[in-house]
Amino acid sequence: MIWQTSRFDIDLETPRVMGIVNLTPDSFSDGGRHAGTAAGLRHAERLLREGADLLDVGGESTRPGSPTVPFEEEWRRVEGFLREAVRWNVPISVDTYKAETMRAALDLGVDIVNDIWALQQPGAED
């Protein structure tokens, strides 16, 4: 079974590891240790060295009770990371439910959209 993205054919016959890069100051999994472009890129490089096959980056926490972040803030958090990471030879996923962020990330060359709302938010299916 092959998962075809815009740039990659990912063979799913063997398990694949997705490295998670949370660029949020209130991340539930890492407490904001990797917030910011430079820290996020260092973390992503480490994840790849340790065996990650693809990277998933997010700029808004989805933990229960976390505040909603406007598009402009979410994009400010992820844009610099995405601009650099899409140059690497690795599939990049953006974790967002906002149509504006999806479009902007895909325009930069991101391969995958990881949407917890399954494209059910306004404009996401366009």
Judged against a pLDDT cut of 80, whether residue 5 lies above it is answered with yes
pLDDT for res 35? 73
Question: How many beta carbons lie within 10 A of that of residue 76, not counting itself?
Answer: 14
Q: What is the DSSP letter of 54?
A: E
Per the model's pLDDT, the better-predicted residue between 55 and 26 turns out to be 55
Tokens representing 39?
Answer: 């820290």
pLDDT for res 29? 63
Please indicate, yes or no, whether the overall pTM of this predicted structure exceeds 0.95: no
Q: What mean pLDDT, rounded, does the chain reach?
A: 91
Per the model's pLDDT, the better-predicted residue between 31 and 13 turns out to be 13
Residue 122 burial by Cβ neighbours in a 10 Å radius (0-12, 13-18, 19+): exposed
